Every structure is written in C-alpha cells, then in structure tokens.
Structure 1
C-alpha cells in the first residue's frame, strides 16, 4: 500500500471510528444517534446561513492548524498557539478601534499588527529554546496564561474598566455585504480568503525556498544541520516566529470578522488547542490542514444544532466531539495498524 494512500485512509478511518463510538455513547445514554447525526448534518449544511457560519467557523481553525503544522514540520511543538491567537486578536482589535485610516491602509495594518503580536509571542519561546535549550512545550504553555491575563488587563485599561474594546471601525472590518447577502446574513467574511492564502504561503516557504529547506532540515536533525553550516539557533527562532504569525492572524479573523471587537475572556477560546488536532489530522501538510479545519469547524458549529433539533444534551454533544478528536489524535496508532495489515496482505 502506497504511503499516499495510507495518508488518506488514516484520517478517514479516524473520523469513522469517532462517529461510530459517538453513536454508541448516544445510544447508551438513551438518545437516537441517527437523529443526533441528522441534526449535526443540518447544523452544518441545513441552509445557506448555516453553510456561511460553518465556513466562518473553519477560518480561524485553518490558521491555528497552519501554526501548529509549521512548527511540527520544523521539529518544534508549539502548544502556545492559543496564546498567540489571543494576543493577535487583541492587537487587531486595538488597531481597528484606536485608528481611523482608509480601508486599504487600516485593514492591512490591523492584520500586520495581529501577525506581529503572534510572532512576538512565538519569538520568546523560540529564543529560550535556541539560546538556553529550554523546552518549547513548557514555555509555550506558560505563555498561554500570560497572554490570557495580559490581554484581559489591557482590554480593561483600554476600555476604562469595560469588558470589551467596543466595535472596530468599518475601515478595519473583514465583513462583506456581498458575502452576508449571499449567505442569508451569516457572519461569513473575507477572512476565509486570507486563511487560504496563508495555506499557499506555508507551502511556498517550506517547499519552494532555501530557507524552508533549512527549517525542515533543522527539524529533522540539529547536529547534521549545524555540521553542514546552517545556523540552527536562527532557524529555531524563525520557525517559532512564523508559526506565531499564523496564529496571530487566526486571532485577527475573530477580531476583525466574526466579533469585530476584543472582549475579556474567562478562559481560553480552544481554537489554538484544537489546532493541534487539526494539524495531526492534516498530516502537518498545508492542504491537509484545510481538510482538518473543515472537520473541526463543521463539528463545532454543527453540534450547536444537536440539542435544539434532536434534544441531545450539550454534555453528550461535547463527549461525542471529544471522542472524534481522540480518534483523530490517535491517527498514528491507526496508521500502525493499517501498515501492518498492508504488510500481512502483501506477504500472503
């Protein structure tokens, strides 16, 4: 069995197993899994409004998945995507509220601010990893909490004790009357185009540039890369900066498109953490991330319809989503079984 076929089969099997076990959980709990999954389907594809909202939900997942996948491809495990996304969210909203420029200046400036904030939040663990060999997992986890509480404090200061920054100026908005009218006034915005453009940017960096080759080489073997003359420390920092920039743009999608403000958060958004599973499901490839994000965005938004249409409690819905995520995250175990089955078949 070819490696490409295995790469396709593993996520498909992961999702199917998750759906089957999720159905069993619903059945044991006394609910109809057929009605539950029908409600999930309707919540995703029921009409043009739900399709628009589903695509809107997918948008930040693409960028979070790219952030995790880029770090993975360069030998790093960026658990700090959540924090980088939050600081990007705040930076984009701040620029959107505090300034008033023509749209062709204001919107790019807000996006650059978000990418820059995320990049800065990625630079710190990258620097500590490169210079002092501090493991990036520990630092990025801690940076998540620093991001959450720092942005909360800044929002309260910026808004004179309020819980949100107030609406951003229209000149910094990603909203589109054309897309809203086309999808029955959903919150679909132009951010999906930016997310897809970043998929291309990641592919271009990793596959078509010398720097991308160096980043991947450093990820595969630090010692060999150093021996061949590559600057390992510089590439580690650069990888975390680029990863953080993707995450920061994910926050900008929420600040400039979905909500059009930044608010005090009682906890994490979860998008950055789900980005880990998105990247795993997509085998850390740019194209794969699109499919992984499509699955997670669809599940997150479509599941909101399950309590309304099928009467399934939100707790059961959360369990079903968690089970699907579990099987997706267990993709490497499934890959092992698929490869062993393939070898046995070839031996016979």
Structure 2
C-alpha cells in the first residue's frame, strides 16, 4: 500500500521539473525501428553542442548496415570529429545510443537552420536473408541566436528629495548561458550615499535564474531649490561560458526635487514642513515638532483618556 502514494508524487515531480531546452524527434520506421533524435532547440554561435540519437529494434527481425549521416547545406551547423554513426548489426530487441558533436562557426547567421540526416538500414528477413537497403531523410531544425543576452533591470523611485532614504533594486538575468565571476556594482553621483553594499559578487548565476540586490539611497541634507536628474550607473561584469570576460551596463536617472509641505517616507515616517516625525515616535519621544503640535497631541490624548474613563463608569452602572 505504501507504493500507492509514491505514484502521484512522481507524477507531480515530473511536471515540476524545468524544461531542459531540448527537443526530440521520434521516427517509427520499417521493421519496428524507432529512432529518437534529441537536439538543442536554441544554440549560440561559436560554441559546441551535441545531438543524441537512440535507436531501438522493436521488430522481430535483425537489422544490419545501419548508418546515420549528418550534413548542413549552408555550413552554419558543422559536424565535429565525425558526421556519421555506423552500426553493423542490431538484433531483435537491441538498442544503440550515440552522439554527434556540433561546432557552430562564429560567423553563422542568426535564424533557423536545418541539419539533414540521411538514414539507411538493411532488414534481414527471417534473420537470414538481407533485403535491399531502405533510406529516409530527416530534417532537424535548430535556431542560432546571437551573443548571449544578460539583462539589467533597475527599480528606483521616479523622484526623491533631500534628507531621506529611498530603495534601489537591481535585477540581473542571463537568458542563454550560465555566467561566473559575476560582479554587480552601483555607481552613484557625488553627494549621494548608500545604506548597504554597492558592490555584490556571485561565483555563478545560472541561466534564466534572476538575481536581485537591494540597497538604500541616502540623499544629502541640503534642500534642492529646483528639479534636476541624478544618474546612477549599474555595471555588471562576468565571465561567459567560453571563458571570455564581458561587461554590461545601464544608466538610470532619478529626479531630485524640492520637498513639498507634506511627504511620506518609504519607512512610514512623515515630513511636515521642516519637521520630521519618525515612524517609531511616541508622544514622549517627539522630534522637532512645534509646541502647538505638541499641545494639540496632549489635548487629544487627554480627551481620549476622558472618554475611556466615562465608558468604564457607564459600564459599572
């Protein structure tokens, strides 16, 4: 009975496993011969890939002189050490697996290209008499993409004001390849400070796995008399899958503007004119509030206390 709960678990895990970025072509040929061809759906110029082939003889007769010859008319997809697979004999119920390496020229044009596979086999009738060879042509589509894409997405407020803190978040995503020795650096204009690190290092970022870092901008104490833009530069340096060092950058601008009469801060504080009330302030720890405001708070507190006392008296009656 304990096995029954494992079955739905395995089914669930099957659907949770991420795509392997590969495609498979299945061919059912004469004599019960099944061929599975697994290949990358997208590749990058200047790199090496492989095509995997699995052949199964599900018929009741032997096959011999099996050959698979790969070719590319436009030479955009070149074979590696060998461009063919030769099998002398495959008995009933037998299987064979092999790989063909692809060397993608650096000058290959982006777009969809085709690898042509010419397949041939000889069926041995009653496992004694070889028959005439049969041939099949199979086209394998593969898309060549340009250089790897590393994207930088920066989230900052549209505008900021003096003597306050604001968040800045940087997300880095490598879409095509794993990258290593990654450094993310935020370069701020002068007079801007940070709470938190402005340089982050990662030994590896896997493809299609976004990495996010967050810091806080500390603006200068001096008031801004007019609006002007502050540029923040984000530089991402890394090593790609071929060992080459690369660098990508992005510049975002934030408007520094005069503070209005009432401003809410991201941590829940509030500016009222030139006075700031921190989010953690109580009546006994008020900072920079005019005397009139303090008196108003005391009166309000006394009124609330009177109401509570009156309620207690009424409840007793």
| TM-score bracket for the superposition, by shorter chain length | under 0.3
Provide TM-score, normalisation by structure 2.
0.21
Higher helix share: 1
* Higher relative contact order, chain-length normalized (CA < 8 Å, sep 6+): 1
Higher strand share: 2
Provide TM-score, normalisation by structure 1.
0.19
